[in-house]
């Protein structure tokens, strides 16, 4: 085959495939490259023989590392050989060397990370990612041949006064795929259970660093106490080992959820009519309230009228008592309160007097707005008459409705105890802090010693509370601002987002006073009751709805009483099983 004439042409700009004459690099006889880098003195270019360039590159890399590198203190975390896990291919325990290595490391492009901090669920964090590069041969000259920066190493940067730990590292291959440098990602130092640090290192870290716990430890602990309050969450609540309260043996709980537009407010509630004794629940512990501290009482109540217990009797007359009464004419009376009687109520219906006790409470009402309560202090049986004490606040309200309220016809009387929300008793048996609901319409608050056994402060709701409906009651006792607040909430009729609506609010004058409560109790009453809470501070109106909707209070650190009416377990407590 004839030779192609093109192959004999010289390399020119017009014919780049062929070499130009008298070219020092191109050998026209062998058609090879001579005298160049990587030829090794031979005629052909060989990419595998550029060792001189590699040595130059590595030398430059090491010089740059020492010239431009920042000083770091490097504490190596050495894995324990006996902690080797061949399944997960990792070591589970590490020992940190006591003596740090003085290492220089290059920050890529000289971009020193910003000093700003970020805060997430894990705490404070430096700006990430933070990358370092360390020449491989330089590292081995300091740490030893075959070693490497590795995860869990502790790194201190003196210039920035920051403590880091290695999150990951890998060996970077640079020029000609040669191992040149370690690339290391750092994150903020965090103590780890798998990494054992010497006492000297721990002490040094404590001296020169400030932890999140030191800065926010008190606040974090306070938040934890709010969320995990033992009064609400103890596994022993409702058992014989309950350390916060004692129950009447016959008190029953009903395991039924109170749900408001999908929000579970309570999962059970007390049936307060079931106890045998008057003190249905007694809470352990005392309480000292001075004139510069506040309290607030919250609870969910559902009034009840039980036909077999709460029978109605026809009232024939209601007469004010003007002159003193003769105790000898009485069937029964209370000597301590007999003289306080201000009205006599006569009924025509037959009644078993053995079922009526002195100091029982009665409810008198007729169709319309006239509805009130009174306390029996004496009884005469011919005709059957109850001599009662009607609270002055109640009398004032009755007179505002009708001045002739006592002569109206159609009254019915019912023997019915008030709904007891909380009753605080001092060492002498005085009711120095109590909240009761009378006649489904009056909220009576006792506070202090001057009127401890009388309903000294009474507010009347605009409308009666309906039986078998749930209501949230909030009473603020503000010694620091000299006022009571009374709020009543119920399920919102239409607004599923708001869930609750306020149906009553009133403020009363309070005279601050120092009192001591020996024990808090809740008394037998015709009601269901749940989520009883007594706080060391008042609850502002904007927070009340959220508090009432919360199954567990988020302010557990402020709770004196936190009773969610947990189901009562009457089984014996067994400590050990055999």
pLDDT at residue 12, as a whole number: 43
**In the prediction, which pLDDT does 6 show?**
45
Whether a cis peptide bond, with omega within 30° of 0, leads into 451 is no
Interacting residues of 214 by C-beta distance below 8 A, sequence separation 6+: none
Dist CA 487 CA 482 (whole Å):
17
Euclidean distance between the first and final Cα of the chain, in Å? 104
This prediction has a pTM of: 0.68
Burial of 538 (0-12, 13-18, 19+ CB in 10 A): buried
What span, in angstroms and rounded, lies between the C-alpha atoms of 342 and 387?
A: 7
Q: What is the pLDDT of residue 313?
A: 92
pLDDT tens for the chain, 578 residues: list them.
445 454 454 444 444 444 444 444 444 444 444 444 454 555 566 666 677 777 888 888 889 998 999 999 999 998 887 777 777 677 778 888 888 899 999 999 888 887 777 777 666 677 777 899 999 999 999 999 989 999 999 999 988 888 899 999 999 988 778 888 999 999 888 888 888 888 888 887 777 667 667 777 788 787 777 777 788 888 788 777 788 999 998 999 999 999 999 999 999 999 999 999 999 999 999 999 999 999 999 999 999 999 999 999 999 999 999 888 888 888 888 888 888 899 999 998 778 777 788 989 999 999 999 999 999 999 988 888 999 999 999 999 999 999 999 999 999 999 999 999 999 999 988 899 999 999 999 999 999 877 656 667 899 999 999 999 999 999 999 999 999 999 999 999 999 999 999 999 999 888 899 999 999 999 999 999 999 999 999 999 999 999 999 999 888 889 999 999 988 876 665 665 55
Q: State residue 80's pLDDT score.
A: 81
What is the pLDDT, as a whole number, of residue 416?
94
- pLDDT, residue 239, reads 79
Contact 344, 386 (CB under 8 A): yes
Of 377, 384, 375, nearest in space to 313 by CA: 384
User: How many CB atoms within 10 Å of residue 549?
Assistant: 17
117 Cβ contact list (under 8 Å, min separation 6)? 124, 125, 126, 127
Q: Residues with Cβ < 8 Å from 394, sequence gap 6 or more?
A: 372, 373, 374, 442, 458, 460
User: For position 20, what pLDDT does the model report?
Assistant: 44
Cβ within 8 Å of residue 347, ≥6 positions away: 313, 314, 315, 316, 384, 385, 386, 413
Chain-centroid distance, C-alpha 575: 30
Distance of CA 290 to the CA centre of its chain: 28
How many whole angstroms separate alpha carbon 517 and alpha carbon 433? 8
What is the pLDDT at residue 56?
82
Name the architecture of domain 311-415. Beta Barrel (2.40)
The token pair that represents 54 in the structure block: 């590699």
The residues facing 498 across adjacent strands are none
CATH 2.60.120.200 boundaries in the chain: 229-306+418-578
Residue 353 makes CB contacts below 8 A (sequence gap 6+) with 331, 332, 379, 381, 384
Identify the CA nearest to 182 among candidates 109, 127, 104. Answer: 104
Quote the pLDDT of residue 11. 42
For residue 500, give every residue at least 6 positions away whose Cβ sits within 8 Å of its Cβ, in sequence order, or none.
Answer: 260, 472, 489, 490, 491, 492, 545, 548, 549
Tell me the C-alpha distance between 221 and 227, whole Å: 10
Q: Write the CA distances from 114 to 132, 167, 279, 312, 474, integer angstroms.
A: 15, 19, 65, 80, 50
Contact at 8 Å (CB) between 413 and 402? no
**Range(s) within the chain of domains with CATH label 2.40.30:** 311-415
The three state secondary structure string of 269-335 is EEECCCCCCCEEEEECCCEEECCCCCEEEEEEEEECCCCCCCCEEEEEEEEECCCCCCHHHCCEECC
The one-character DSSP state at 106 is: B
Whether 296 contacts 535, CB under 8 Å: yes
CATH fold label, 229-306+418-578: Jelly Rolls (2.60.120)
């Amino acid at each position: 085959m004839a030779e192609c004439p093109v192959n004999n042409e010289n390399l020119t700009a017009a014919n780049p495939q062929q070499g130009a004459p008298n070219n020092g690099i191109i050998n026209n006889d062998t058609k090879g490259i001579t005298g160049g880098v990587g030829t090794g003195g031979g005629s052909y270019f060989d990419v595998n023989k550029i060792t001189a360039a590699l040595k130059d590159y590595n030398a430059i890399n090491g010089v740059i590392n020492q010239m431009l590198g920042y000083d770091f203190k490097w504490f190596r975390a050495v894995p324990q050989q006996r902690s080797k896990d061949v399944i997960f291919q990792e070591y589970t325990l590490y020992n940190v060397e006591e003596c740090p290595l003085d290492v220089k490391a290059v920050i890529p492009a000289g971009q020193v990370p910003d000093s700003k901090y970020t805060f997430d669920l894990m705490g404070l964090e430096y700006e990430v990612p933070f990358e370092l590069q360390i020449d491989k041969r330089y590292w081995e000259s300091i740490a030893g041949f075959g070693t490497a920066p590795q995860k869990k190493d502790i790194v201190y940067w003196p210039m920035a006064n920051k403590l880091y730990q290695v999150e990951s590292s890998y060996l970077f291959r640079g020029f000609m795929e040669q191992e040149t440098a370690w690339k290391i990602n750092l994150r903020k130092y965090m103590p780890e259970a798998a990494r054992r640090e010497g006492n000297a290192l721990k002490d040094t870290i404590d001296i020169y660093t400030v932890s999140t716990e030191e800065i926010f430890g008190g606040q974090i602990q306070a938040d934890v106490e709010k969320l995990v309050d033992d009064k609400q969450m103890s596994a022993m609540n409702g058992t014989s080992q309950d350390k916060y309260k004692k129950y009447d043996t016959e008190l029953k709980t009903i395991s039924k959820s109170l749900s408001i537009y999908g929000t579970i407010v309570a999962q059970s509630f007390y049936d307060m009519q079931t106890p045998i004794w008057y003190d249905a629940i007694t809470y352990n512990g005392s309480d000292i309230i001075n004139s510069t501290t506040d309290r607030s009482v919250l609870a969910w109540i559902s009034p009840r009228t039980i036909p077999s217990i709460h029978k109605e009797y026809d009232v024939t007359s209601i007469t004010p008592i003007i002159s003193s009464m003769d105790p000898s004419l009485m069937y029964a009376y209370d000597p301590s309160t007999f003289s306080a009687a201000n009205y006599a109520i006569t009924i025509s219906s037959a009644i078993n007097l053995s079922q009526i006790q002195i100091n029982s409470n009665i409810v008198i009402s007729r169709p319309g707005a006239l509805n009130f309560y009174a306390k029996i202090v004496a009884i005469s049986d011919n005709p059957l008459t109850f001599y009662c004490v009607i609270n002055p606040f109640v009398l004032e309200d009755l007179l505002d409705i009708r001045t002739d309220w006592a002569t109206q016809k159609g009254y019915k009387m019912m023997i019915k105890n008030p709904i007891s929300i909380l009753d605080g008793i001092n060492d002498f048996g005085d009711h120095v802090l109590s909240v009761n609901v009378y006649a489904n319409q009056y909220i009576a608050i006792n506070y202090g010693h001057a009127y401890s056994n009388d309903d000294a402060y009474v507010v009347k709701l605009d409308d009666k509370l309906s039986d078998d409906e749930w209501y949230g009651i909030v009473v603020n006792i503000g010694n620091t601002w000299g006022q009571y607040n009374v709020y009543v909430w119920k399920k919102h009729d239409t607004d599923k987002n708001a869930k609750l609506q306020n149906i009553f609010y009133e403020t009363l004058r309070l005279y601050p006073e120092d009192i001591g409560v020996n024990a808090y109790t809740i008394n037998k009453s015709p009601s269901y009751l749940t989520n009883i809470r007594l706080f060391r501070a008042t609850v502002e109106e904007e927070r009340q709805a959220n508090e009432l909707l919360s199954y567990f209070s988020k302010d557990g650190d402020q709770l004196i009483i936190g009773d969610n009416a947990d189901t009562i377990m009457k089984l014996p407590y067994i400590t050990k099983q055999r």
